[in-house]
Structure 1
Amino acid sequence: MSTDIHKEDFLVELGTEELPPKALKNLSDAFTQGILSGLDKAQITYSEVESFAAPRRLALLIKGLDTAQPDQQIEKKGPAVKAAFDADGNPSKAALGFARSNGVTFDDLIQEDRLVFRTVQQGQSTSELLPEIISQSLNNLPIPKRMRWGARRTEFVRPVHWLLMLLGNKIVDCEILGLNAGATTRGHRFHANQEITITNPTDYAQTLHQQGKVVASFAARRDMINEQVQKVAADINGQAVIDDDLLDEVTALNEWPVALSGRFDDEFLSVPSEALISSMKGHQKYFHVVDASGNLLPYFITVANIESNEPKHVVEGNEKVIRPRLSDAKFFYDTDRKQTQDNRREKLKSIVFQAQLGSVFAKTERIANLAAFISNAEGGDAKLAERAGQLCKSDLVSEMVLEFPELQGIMGQYYAANDGESPEVSKTLDEQYMPRFAGDQLPSSLTGCAVAIADKVDTITGIFGIGQLPTGSKDPFALRRASIGVLRIIVEKNLNLDLEALVEKAIAGYQEQKVELPALDKLNTTIVNYMLERFDAAYQEDGVAVEVINAVKALRPTRPLDFDLRIKAVTRFNAMDEADALAAANKRVSNILAKAGDIVIPDSVNTALLSEDAEKALAEAVESCKQAIAPALAKGLYADAMESLASLKEPVDRFFDDVLVNAEDEAVRMNRYALLKQLRSLFLHVADISLLQKS
């Protein structure tokens, strides 16, 4: 008898104490994905899903859910028929054992070339499977630390209070996390703190909104808050600055969001705006407001989780709370300005950068020397770079940065300007951390670039030097990001820096300080190879073919700008009609020369030994190209050089069609090897294009 399958809508909601706001979105996504994975594994289909996440609830609506699994055809094969009977024609032990293992008699088995057991396994009802699927999803949520409450042994991220599970209009009878499933949810903690019955899964969001004063959809609440905050800002003739992460966090804190504006005293505007913003965002979850020029206004926008009859009281309460916070920021700023960056720098001697690599003060010494080296190499002001390097970490011990770590560099810029340092040095103290993330802006000055590169290369060199290389899952010193940052700065700022020279200088900096680097053997090569490998993902994201990247990497150019120019040139060449034939020819030449083994092939071609028209033509073409591309190569104009080399296609094709490379006469054979060696070396000035062959 086959299972009767029809479609029903399903709703599950777990009610809790307030969930961690920064984790709510991830918890909701994982809860949804866990349930859907369980349904997919059980071969239960559905038509549409909608997730809900609010401070006190995780919920999921699944429309058009199968009410049962489909029946499954089961087939198991046993012993061969010839082994299924003994000498007397009775079922063998193997045949009887196969029948018993399937819970049937020998007569129930089918005889084909082997004994076969076939049956239909009836699908289980979805209501029977859902409790385990949901329990498993909850168990697998990304919760670093679970908690217990009361006398229960149940564990979850927060105490749980109710469980709603409806399949159609029927409750799924089960117990999860110590809660019996029902058909009731709860409304807003203050506006509608009561049980609300859900009679139909699809009515969930509307019923909760109308009766419970709860906007269950995370996305809908997020849009509401965004719209409200912008409107409130416009009402006070300002523009709200809405950070996505803060918007997500505020969305996770409110079930019934109401945006309100408040004001703080103008006197606080004397404090750097970044400090005020950090205080408003970090402590109070407020959105700040700017004017049309981007200057901070003395207003903030808060989002309340209640619709008050007296909103001015809510605003006044928030204004009372923010004042001491901003007063603290002003106090820190005023106190910090009583000391210079030089004075603060002395305190860095007692702060460890890394146990084996010394203090942060020692790091600033190395950064200063390396930054001066970089600036000098690029024709900059080495003294400015050295000074910026010396001061670059001083603000780490300032009161403001100790309170707001995210302001490191930013406050250093303000404090250096207060000390009378040059504008370029001051700005560099902020720019040293650029780029802070993928796509972030780069330092604006050469001094900023020099210190940013020096800081990153020093860290990479030191950590590699003590053997703490990043792994696939662990990169505590963010060496990948640092490497990508170095490459971006060098390439996008057109700096002609050599990674090997930078790392060599960085190693020397550690050695001058008597810092032992246990992994010193081949350290430079290891670091440079690691940094160059960071190019791969970046280029592939830009659509550069893997074979183009490999063709350039084969030559291992250690100047990132030079590497990038070669990539662009080979990409352009690879799109030309001549590319495939010349790549194949280079591959053939590479194989021929490889088979020559240890034989010393002449560097020059003896024209007197050229007898065939085709080899004479190729020799002339190679010599002509050599002369033509020399100026382009000298200027790094690799694309022009590759375009010239494309003209070799016809003479190369003719050579391989008409000329026997491995001539019997050894002198002729070696002369032809020499010609092919010269041909290949022309291309190897840019890349190994033999690797462009796709097959």
Structure 2
Amino acid sequence: MQQQQTLLFEIGTEELPPKALTTLASALALNIETGLNSLELAFDSVRWFATPRRLAVEVKNLQAQQHDKVVEKRGPAVSAAFDDNGQPTKAAMGWARGNGIDVSEAERLTTDKGEWLLYNAKVAGSHISDLVEELIRTSLSKLPIPKPMRWGNSKHQFIRPVHTVTILYGESLLDAEVLGIKSSRLIQGHRFHGKTNFELDHADNYLVQLENHFVLADFASRKQKIEQGILQAAEQEGATVDIDAELLDEVTALVEWPVILTASFEESFLQVPKEALIYTMKGDQKYFPVIDTQGKLLPRFIFVTNIESHDPEQVIKGNEKVIRPRLADAEFFYQTDKKKTLESRLESLNSVMFQQKLGTLADKSQRIADIAADIAEKIGADKTKAARAGLLSKTDLMTEMVMEFPDVQGVMGMYYAHNDGEDSEVALALNEQYMPRFAGDQLPTSMVSNAVALADKLDTLVGIFGIGMLPKGDKDPFALRRAAIGLLRIIMDNNLQLDLVELIAIAKQQLGDKLTNQSVESDVLEFLLGRFRAIYQEQGISVDVIHAVLATQPTKPADFDARVKGVSHFYTLESAQSLAAANKRVGNILAKNSVDSNAEVDSALLTDKAEQELYAQLEKSKQNNLDKLANADYQAVLTELAALRPAIDNFFDNVMVMCEDKAQQANRLALLNNLHQQFLNVADIALLQQA
């Protein structure tokens, strides 16, 4: 056997959960890689494979056997190892016997703490064949499987029943038992094509032999083939295709031998809003909708099958037959829903509870309307339209379409509002109230929509915090973190001059006596401020910069954003590190001495040239920065203050702040406080110590 060969491990199963497939496969590969590293076995690479009926890991050029080791085994201290006559004690003889040597064969280990008996034991390295079973068992036990299952009479558990286990090292089959199944060369082929099972002759032939049996085991290659096939099919239609990344992954996890086909449906179904049809095709049937160059849905769809049929027309007809009832349902729901206005559904919102302590959806809708009207007034939006949109915001939840297809909430509200003759901005706001729906999603496009989206998120945040149901750990049933980040993004990206303290107060007032948490306002504010870190870290902003701005507790998100950009620029300046250190020194001095924050500097008491110079430059920068601060031009403010560096360094080099003259001491503290406050107008740059 060669010294370095490929290790191949495959576990053949029943159909695995498609949405968990890549997570399981990558975790298995990582666990095996970690295990090999701990065993000190060298290898070139670790790669995973996954199909609906298998998980596999390939380790290239794996070292066959661990290197031999010399292990130091320290015995008893020499003083305790021999008696007064120089004879070995029981402790020494027991230790030597345990190591298979005589006491006379022991070496001595001398340190500054004493002398001990020592035996350098040679430990032979184990072969991979002796290590692999425990390695794989441990790797499988650490997989993220929330609900393992048993099958047959087996006591073993896995995410799905296991049929085969294969462990090859090169051409050698390694003897092992995993999940109650002995390792063999048997590999499951495609369920419908070719042989049901075949024997794998060599680890390096895994992919090739599987492909010969109609299985593309490499997930990435299979995904690429599917994507290219879908794009080619769409190109043949003279159109584009809506390739959703998550759907592509899911479809890839559902097939072993992908075949791409195109089918159609009746054009009459296009009278239904395209979002509902697309949701039905993608969500229920895993189909890819076809879109023309103007973004209009075509009566065609592309699908991926796991069978290479001799008569593909029969497969196409079968899929057309399956999708037709689903589209007919959507059409029926749409036509039925249009017979009632959204306004007529307001009463039915009283029958649906938003949250037991916070009332029904009718209560929430009225609060959203009132909050949205207040916000609209602040941002220059139409107050009446915002209130109307807020009032109707949840009515589409009572429609047949949304009850059947929850993911189209909001968008159906928009269509039904247009059908009812509602104002176009009101209709748009019914859809955009939920934006952004996920990280990186687009934001509302109108000011009325912004007002309603902010109102909805505020009501949920203040309401849930107000009854003491704060998110804990990864438990966030009301998606408060997403709501908070969405709220902040809307305000910052639109540069809305809104204050979080005022917004929270507006929402609290609408909730009235429903709230029991006395500290709800400070809790919500702290929670919102805490979301800034996640937003800016995603943009690559230094944590130091975020903390420096957070220290000053700015409660206007647009202002917070301007400060972050200003401090980020300052962070790159050559003078940033020394100014940050100086500010930290100033902060420490002021913290140890009681200084009135409004204390003024008496220029008559400035006797040293260095303090006179610093004072003069401070007064100049204060005047120069008045307009810059008013315009939130924090980059310019900090650039102005950065010019103080020589004067600050000179001050600390030549002036004793804590001098014996108490009046002069107080005056110098006031001067430092003046300096400190000018920087705090933007951020606490003392926290930029890693600059």
Q: 1:515 is matched by which residue type in structure 2?
A: K
3-state secondary structure, aligned to 1:173: coil
Matching residue of 2:166: 164
Instruction: Within 5 Å, give how 1:33-48 maps onto structure 2.
Output: 33-48=30-45
Q: Which residue of 1 aligns with 2:136?
A: 134
Paired residue for 2:550, among 541, 549, 553? Answer: 553
Deviation at 1:360, TM superposition (A): 2.0
TM-aligned CA deviation for residue 296 of structure 1: 0.5
Q: 2:626 aligns with which of 600, 610, 630?
A: 630
After superposition, where does 1:436-515 map in structure 2 within 5 Å? 436-511=437-512, 514-515=513-514
Q: Distance in 2 between matches of 1:30 and 1:612?
A: 67
Q: 1:287 corresponds to which letter in structure 2?
A: F
Is the Cα–Cα contact under 8 Å of residues 5 and 70 in structure 1 kept in the other structure?
Answer: no
Deviations 1:499-551 (A, max 9, x none): 1111111111211xx3132x22x321222122112112332333333332222
Distance 1:12 1:672 in 2: 74
Q: Match of 1:76?
A: 73
TM superposition score normalised by structure 2? 0.95
Kindly provide the CA deviation profile for residues 637-681 of structure 1, in whole angstroms up to 9, marking residues without a partner as x: 222222222333333333334433334333333233333322322
Q: Which residue of 2 aligns with 1:279?
A: 280
What is the CA deviation profile of residues 183-208 of structure 1, one whole-angstrom value per residue up to 9, with x for unaligned ones?
12232222213332221111121122
Does residue 1:373 correspond to 2:369, yes or no? no
For 2:641, the aligned partner's letter is L
Whether the 8 Å contact between 2:132 and 2:176 is mirrored in structure 1 is no
8 A Cα contact 1:240 1:287, kept in partner: yes
Match of 1:61 among 58, 62, 79: 58
**Corresponding residue of 1:115:** 117
Deviations 1:77-104 (A, max 9, x none): 1222122112232222332343344454
Shift of 1:565: 0.9
Q: What RMSD over aligned residues (CA atoms) do the two structures have, in Å?
A: 2.1
> Shift in Å at residue 611 of structure 1?
3.0
Report SS of the residue matched to 2:241. Answer: strand
* Closer/same/farther in 2, CA of residues 602 and 13 from structure 1, 3 Å limit: closer
Match of 2:365 in 1: 364
SS of structure 2 residue aligned to 1:145: coil
* Deviating more after overlay: 677-686 vs 655-664: 655-664
My pick for the range that moved more, 564-573 or 270-279, is: 564-573
Q: Give the structure 2 partner of residue 200 of structure 1.
A: 202
Deviations 1:529-583 (A, max 9, x none): 2211211233233333333222222211111111111111222223334433433
> Does structure 2 retain, via aligned residues, the 8 Å contact 1:365–1:389?
yes
Distance in 2 separating the partners of 1:27 and 1:242: 24
Q: Shift in Å at residue 602 of structure 1?
A: 6.6
Query: How many angstroms does 1:16 deviate by?
Result: 1.8
Alpha-carbon spacing, 1:385–1:102, altered in 2? closer, same or farther (3 Å)? farther
Q: Which residue is 2:112 aligned to? A: none
Check if 1:645 corresponds to 2:641: yes
Q: Secondary structure at the match of 2:458?
A: helix
Cα shift at 1:601:
7.4
Which range is displaced more, 46-55 or 327-336? 46-55
Task: Rate the CA distance shift 1:91–1:568 in 2: closer, same or farther, 3 A.
Answer: same
Structure 2 unaligned segments of length 5 or more: list them.
Answer: 110-114
Identity, % of aligned pairs?
A: 48
Q: Is the 8 A contact 2:9 2:168 kept in 1?
A: yes
- Structure 1 Cα separation of the partners of residues 134 and 651 of structure 2: 72
Partner Cα separation in structure 2 for residue 667 and residue 170 of structure 1: 89
Q: What are the superposed Cα offsets for residues 408-438 of structure 1, whole Å, 9 maximum, x if unpaired?
A: 1111111111111111111111111111111
Paired residues in the alignment total: 686
Q: In 1, are the aligned partners of 2:239 and 2:290 still within 8 Å (CA)? A: yes
The Cα shift of 1:306 comes to 1.0
Indicate how the Cα distance of structure 1 residues 21 and 582 shifts in structure 2: closer, same or farther if over 3 A, else same.
closer
Residue in 1 that maps onto 2:14 = 17
**AA aligned opposite 1:65:** L
**1:217-267 deviation digits (Å, cap 9, x = unpaired):** 111111111111111122222212111111111111111111111110000
* Residues 554 and 688 in structure 1, CA contact (< 8 A), matched pair in contact too: yes
Q: Deviations over 1:33-87 (max 9, x none)?
A: 2222222222222223332211222222222122222222211212221221122
- Asked if structure 2 preserves the Cα contact closer than 8 Å seen for 1:536 and 1:549, the reply is yes
SS of 1:23 mapped into structure 2: helix
Write the distance in 2 (CA, Å) between the matches of 1:291 and 1:360. Answer: 39
Letter in 1 for 2:652: F
Partner residue of 1:317?
318
User: Do residues 90 (structure 1) and 87 (structure 2) align?
Assistant: yes
Q: Distance in 2 between matches of 1:587 and 1:158?
A: 59
Q: C-alpha separation between the residues in 1 aligned to 2:491 and 2:335?
A: 38
* Compared CA separation, residues 585 and 35, structure 1 to 2 (3 A): closer
Structure 2 contact 170–204 (Cα < 8 Å) conserved: no
The CA distance in 2 between the partners of 1:660 and 1:74, in whole Å, is 61
Q: Cα–Cα, structure 1 residues 677 and 543, in superposed 2: closer, same or farther, change >3 Å? A: same
Contact 1:601/1:670 (8 A) holds in 2: no
Structure 1 residues 297 and 119: CA distance shift in structure 2, 3 A: same
Shift of 1:491: 0.7
What is the rounded CA distance, in whole Å, between the counterparts of 2:514 and 2:219 in structure 1? 52
User: Quick check: 1:393 aligned with 2:390?
Assistant: no
